[in-house]
Amino acid sequence: MTLLLTPSANAVARQVEPESFRDFAHQELEVCAPWQAGICFRPECGAEFVPSRQWQIYCCQACERAGVAELRKWGHRMALSALVWRMGKYNREDEGVINLTRAARRHLTQLQSAWVADRSARAAERGL
């Protein structure tokens, strides 16, 4: 039998991965959130609801799942160009890397604009 080691009081707390944006920008979101409290953040829903938690942005579990799917869908589209852009952002010598980095930045900008337009169109379909 292997005995478990007792944790040291002097051990360094490890953060395995970066925090979410909601954790990272908590104070800023408190002041200027892109959603309204008590209004579903899913553009095609927009239902009024009484939040059971302060951080709740969707009216129900179905809308939350659809919202997560939306983030995943657009996030997957942006992931490679975001990584490529960040990897080459400070390269000032290799013309190929510079051009690829510019293309990645343009792609990110186009995707972000398309995503906002998609959300606006879905909100307009329900009459906003």
Q: What is the pLDDT of residues 78-104, one digit of tens each?
A: 999 999 999 999 999 999 999 999 999
**Structure confidence at residue 17 (pLDDT):** 81
Q: In sequence order, what are the residues at sequence separation of 6 or more whose Cβ sits closer than 8 angstroms to the Cβ of residue 122?
A: 43, 44
**Is the pLDDT score of 52 beyond 60?**
yes
**Structure confidence at residue 54 (pLDDT):** 87
**Structure confidence at residue 8 (pLDDT):** 60
What torsion do the CA atoms of 59, 30, 124, 46 make, to the nearest 10 degrees? 10
To the nearest whole number, what is the mean pLDDT of the chain? 90
